[in-house]
Amino acid sequence: MTHSRRRRSWRQLDPFSEREREKYGGQAIPSREFILSYLEERGAPLTQESLCEEWDIVEDWAVEAVCRRLRAMERDGQLIRNRRQGYGLVAKMDLIKGRVIGHPEGYGFLVPDEGGEDLYISPRQMRQLLHGDRVVMRIAGIDSRGRREAALVEILERNTERVVGRFFQEQGVGFVAPDNRRLSQDIVVPPEGQGDARHGQIVIVELIEQPTKHSRPIGRIREVLGDHMAPGMEVQIAIASHDIPTEWPDAVTAETVRLALEVPESAKEGRWDLRDLPLVTIDGVTARDFDDAVYCERRGQNWRLIVAIADVSWYVRPGSALDEEAQRRGNSVYFPDRVIPMLPEALSNGLCSLNPEVDRLCLACDMTVSSLGRITRSRFVAAVMRSHARLTYDAVAAMLVAQDSRIRRRYEPLLPHLENLYGVFRALQAAREQRGAIDFETQETIIEYGPDRKIERILPTERNDAHRLIEECMIAANVAAARFLQRHRIPGLYRVHEGPTLEKLEKLRCFLGELGLGLGGGDKPAPPDFAMLLERIQGRPDGHLIQTVMLRSLAQAVYSPDNVGHFGLSLEAYAHFTSPIRRFPDLLTHRAIRHVLQGGKADNFGYSHADMAQLGEQCSMTERRADEAVWDAVEWLKCEYMRDKVGEEYDGVVASVTAFGLFVELKDIYVQGLVHVTALRNDYYHFDPAGHRLRGERSGQVYRLGDPLRVRVMRVDLDERKIDFELAEAGEPQRFLRRGLRRKRKAI
C-alpha cells in the first residue's frame, strides 16, 4: 500500500461508507469491516493516531468516535491493543478469544469464539477470572492430561457485576458464598458493606472489586432476598443468580404506553389481506403468547402451507428502547411458575399475540410442499390476518388422531384445513426420516404445586402428533427463511449445529462397543448414521440412557452469521424465524426479510456481518443463561420435593457413571441423586470411562449406565442441590466380571 494511497480519505476506501452514512449521517466513521481489512492489509499493529492520520481524520469529534469504535472492537475481541498502544488483529497474534466457563472445583475452560476444542484454565489462572468473563488467552502448553492449557492475556469484558448467595460471618469476617456453583470464589464483604444482612440469609452482593492474581473479589450487599428456604425463593434466586433482567427500564415503559391497544389502520395498508383465510394457532393449554398460525390446502399433488408469524419487527424498531431491552434479554425465560418475557406484556400477550378474532400484523411464509415433503417454492409477504381459532395440542390430536366425534363437530368448519395440515405433516415427517434427521425424544417434566407453593407431584410431559405437526411446520418455515437469507446474501443469524469432534466420537464408540452396538460413518458420521442407531435401540430398556450419551457427544446448537448447517436436523441451512415474541434471533431474521421486501440490499442493511457475529454470541449466551437458570430452579424444587422423603426407597436407573459414584434417576418422578462410590459396599471400585461403569476390584461386580437399581434416600442438601442415595438391599445388580477374563457380548 503506497503512502499516497494511505492518505486518501477513508470514505474513498471503505466499501461500507454509504451504510455508515445512512446509519449515522454526518457523524459517520470507518466501519468495523473496513478497520479489520485495513489492518490485515497493512500487516502490523497501528495506533489510533496513525490510523486517523492515514484516513485523513482530523476533526476532534471524529477522532473521539474512532477511539470509541476501536475500544468497542477491543471489548468485543475483534482487536487487541499491545503495550505500544497499537491495535492489531487477534488472529495474527496467535491469540484466542472466547468466554470463560467456570467449574466448581476452581478450574475452568475457555470456549473459543471461533469454535474448536475448549482450552483448560488452571485454578491459578482462574483466580483473576469469573465464570462468563470474555477474555483473550494464549496457549501456554499442554497439561498432564494432554489438554491445551491457556494463559490470560487480556480481560475483554467482565460478566459478573452482581452475585446471589448466602451471607456468612465467621471469626469477624463477612463473605458471600455464591449460589452459582460455577463461581468458585467467595465474595469478601467488609463490615461497611454488610448493611442489615444476618448470618445465613440469601443476599445480592454487588462487586466493587473484581478478583486479581492476589485478591478475592470484594463486594457490598445491595439487597437481602430473605431467609434460607423461604417459599418461592428458588426461582427468585435463579433469576438473580443468573442476572436475568426482570424490571423494565423507564424508556421501555414509556414506549409501551404510547402503543395503541389495537392495530392501527395505517399499519394494515399495503399488506396481503389474510383475514378471511382460516388460519389457526395450536399451542399448549397454558400458553398466552401466540406467535405462529398455520393453514394448509391441497394443490393437486402438492400442498400449499402458510405459516403466519407475528410481525414483531413492525412494533420493535432498531435502536428503540424496546429493541435494546429485547437484545439484552435475548429470549423469554420459562420457569415452572412464571415467565420472564423478552417483550412487555402489552406486546407479547397483546398487540403481537395472534389472539383469535382480532386483526394482527404478520409476516407470512407461503410455501409449496411436494408429496415427498420437499419445499419446492417459498415466498415471504407482509400481511394482516385474523386467527379463526385458538386450538390446543390435545384438542387437535383428539380430532385428527383419535377421531373424537364431539370435538370434530365443535370445529367442523375447520376440519378440512386441519386434515390438510395433518397430510402435509406426514409428508414433511417422511422427508425428515428420509434425510436422516436425528430425532432425540427427551423427557421433560411438569411440576404441579399444591397449597402454600408445596410441590405435590412431578409429572412427565407427553408429546402427541399435534406437537409434531406444529414442529414440522415451523421447521419448514425456518428452512425457507434460511434459504431467503442465502439467496439475497443478506447478513443474518443461522441456527448452526455441528457434529461430534473426533475425541467425543471415539468415547461414544467405546461406550457403544461395550453394549455390542456400532455407529457407522467412519471418522465423519452423518446424521443418518445417528438416526439408524436410534432406530436400533428403540424398545431397549437402556435406550433412554444410550440416547443421552449420544446427545452428549454432539455440540450445542448456537447462533452464528456463518452457516455451517444443522447436523441434528440434517439441514444445509436453518434460521430461527417463527418465534420473534420470545427470541431475539427470530426478530433479526424478520428485519432482514422485511428489509429485502421493502427493496433493500445487503450493502444498505442496518446490520453487518460483524454486527451479526456479536449478536449471535449475545443470543447464544442468553439462551445458555436461561437454560442454566431454569435448571437451577427445577433442581432446587426437586430437592425441596424430596426433603420429607428421607429414608424412603425407590426404583431407579443409573443415569450417569463417574469416578466418584453413580447418578441414579428415580422412575416416574424423574429426580436424580448420587450413590457415592464410598457407599458401595465391601469392595474398592474403579471407574471405566469408556464403558461408563464402575467395577469392583475384588468381587468383579459392575455398575453400569442403564442398570436398574433400588435406592434409599439418605440426605437432601438444598444449598448444593444434591440428593444422596444408598443402595437398598434389593438394589444390587447381579452382574460380575471374572478377573483376568473378558467376556464378549453378542452384537445386538
pLDDT band at 746 (very low <50, low <70, confident <90, very high): very low
Residue 21's CB is within 10 A of a number of other CB atoms, namely 14
Residue 728 is placed in which grid cell? 437398598
Grid coordinates 417459599 are at which residue?
231
- Asked if residue 575 belongs to a domain, the reply is yes
Helix (H) or strand (E) holding 440: none
| Predicted local distance difference test score (pLDDT) of residue 7 | 58
With cut-offs at 50, 70 and 90, classify the pLDDT of residue 127.
very high
Burial (CB < 10 A; 0-12, 13-18, 19+), residue 498, is middle
Query: C-alpha distances in angstroms, 160 versus 99, 111, 123, 206, 298?
Result: 12, 17, 18, 9, 54
258 and 270 housed in the same domain: yes
As a whole number, mean pLDDT of residues 79-86 equals 82
pLDDT at 748: 31
Using the 3D structure, point to which of 91, 119, 140 is the last residue of a domain.
Answer: 91
Residue 241 within a domain: no
Mean per-residue pLDDT, 288-293: 91
Q: How many domains does the chain have?
A: 6
Over the chain, what is the mean pLDDT?
88
Mean pLDDT of the 430-442 span:
87
What's the pTM?
0.80
Q: Same structural domain for residues 568 and 610?
A: yes
The type of residue at 650 is Y
Q: Is the pLDDT reported for residue 745 higher than 50? A: no
Residue of 284, 103, 98 whose CA lies nearest to 182: 103
- Summary count for the chain: helices (H), strands (E): 22, 33
Same domain (yes/no): 452, 596: yes
Residues 6+ apart with CB under 8 A from 104: 181, 182, 184
Report yes or no: 493 and 623 within 8 Å, Cβ to Cβ: no
The helix (H) or strand (E) run that includes residue 365 is: strand 359-369
Q: Answer yes or no: are the C-beta atoms of 152 and 135 closer than 8 Å.
A: yes
Same domain, 46 and 78: yes
CA 278, CA 386: separation in Å to the nearest integer? 8
What does the DSSP 8-state code read for residue 443?
A: P
Write out the residue range of the structural domain in which residue 137 sits.
94-157
Within a domain: residue 739? no
Residue 237 in this model has a pLDDT that exceeds 60: yes
Domain-ending residue, one of 91, 106, 131: 91
In terms of domains, do 349 and 486 share one? yes
pLDDT score recorded for residue 56: 84
- Quick one: which H or E segment has residue 384? strand 375-386
User: Is residue 740, in this structure, part of any structural domain at all?
Assistant: no
Residue 521, phi-psi category: left (phi > 0), alpha (psi -120 to 50), beta (remainder) = left
**716 vs 725: CA distance, rounded Å:** 9
Render the burial of 183-192: b for 16+ CB within 10 Å, e for the rest: bbbbbbbeee
Return d(Cα 691, Cα 549) in angstroms, integer.
Answer: 11
CATH number assigned to the domain comprising residue 82: 1.10.10
Please name which of 340, 158, 327 lies closest in space to residue 236, comparing C-alpha atoms: 340
Cell representation of residue 72: 468497542
Within 8 A by CB and 6+ apart from 324, the residues are none
Shared domain check, 310 and 171: no
Residue 8 pLDDT greater than 70, yes or no:
no
- Domain of 149, CATH number, reads 2.40.50.140
| 124: pLDDT strictly greater than 70 | yes
Q: Please, are residues 611 and 588 in contact by the beta-carbon 8 Å criterion? A: no
Shared domain for 510 and 484, answered yes or no, is: no
Residues 652-669: pLDDT tens digits? Answer: 988 888 889 999 999 888
Least confident range of 55-59, 62-66, 363-367, 718-722: 718-722
Q: How many CB atoms lie within 10 A of CB 164?
A: 23
Provide the residue count of the chain. Answer: 748
Residue 406 is which amino acid? R
Question: What residues contact residue 28 under an 8 Å CB cut-off, 6+ apart?
Answer: 17, 20, 21
Write the CB contacts of 611 (distance below 8 Å, at least 6 apart in sequence).
32, 491
**Best CA proximity match to 77, nearest among 63, 64, 87:** 87
Rounded distance between C-alpha atoms, residue 392 and residue 386, angstroms: 17
CA angle centred on 463, ends 461 and 467, rounded to 5°:
130
Nearest Cα neighbor of 201 from 173, 172, 171, 179 is 179
If one compares 610 and 277, the residue with the highest pLDDT of the two is 277
Q: Quickly state the pLDDT bin for 385 (edges 50, 70, 90).
A: very high
Task: Give kind and range of the element (H or E) at residue 156.
Answer: strand 148-157
Mean pLDDT of 6-34: 81
Q: List pLDDT tens digits, range 526-559.
A: 999 999 999 888 888 778 778 888 888 888 899 9
| Cα 541 → chain centroid | 30
CB atoms within 10 A of CB 16: 18
3-class secondary-structure state, position 368 = strand
- 189-212: pLDDT as tens digits: 999 999 999 998 999 999 999 999
Q: Residue 181 belongs to a domain with what CATH number?
A: 2.40.50.700
Nearest-angstrom CA–CA distance, 76 and 17: 21
Q: In this structure, are 277 and 376 located in the same domain?
A: yes
Residue 49 C-alpha from the chain's centroid: 41
What average pLDDT does this structure show over 131-158? 86
- Regarding whether 575 and 526 lie in a shared domain, the answer is no
> Cell numbers at residue 462, please?
407427553
Cα–Cα distance between 319 and 342 in angstroms, integer? 16
Query: Of 157, 192, 211, which residue sits at a domain end?
Result: 157
Q: Is position 672 within any domain?
A: yes
Give whole-number Cα distances, 418 to 388, 392, 469, in Å.
12, 13, 10
Distance between alpha carbon 618 and the CA centroid of its chain, in Å?
A: 10
Is 597 in the same domain as 653? no
Q: How far is it between the farthest Cα atoms of the chain?
A: 86
Q: Is the CB of residue 139 less than 8 Å from the CB of residue 145?
A: no
Question: Residue 42 is placed in which grid cell?
Answer: 497493512
Q: In which band, very low, low, confident or very high, does the pLDDT at 605 lie, cut at 50, 70 and 90?
A: very high
Rounded Cα gap, residues 604 and 16, in angstroms: 8
Measured CA to CA, the distance from residue 682 to residue 727 in angstroms comes to 13
Q: Residue 233 falls within a domain, yes or no?
A: no
DSSP collapsed to 3 states, 538-561: CCCCCHHHHHHHHHHCCCCCEEEC
* Residue 5 confidence class, pLDDT cut points 50, 70, 90: very low
Say if residue 379 is in the same domain as residue 330: yes
User: Is residue 549 domain-shared with residue 678, that is, in the same domain?
Assistant: no
How far apart (Å, rounded) are the C-alpha atoms in residues 477 and 380?
Answer: 10
- C-alpha span between 329 and 493 (Å, rounded): 17
Is residue 559 situated within a structural domain?
Answer: no
| pLDDT confidence of residue 733 | 53
- Residues 516/519/523/525 CA torsion (nearest 10 deg): -170
Q: Which of 397, 386, 313, 331 is nearest to 356 (CA)?
A: 386
Report if residue 488 sits inside a domain: yes
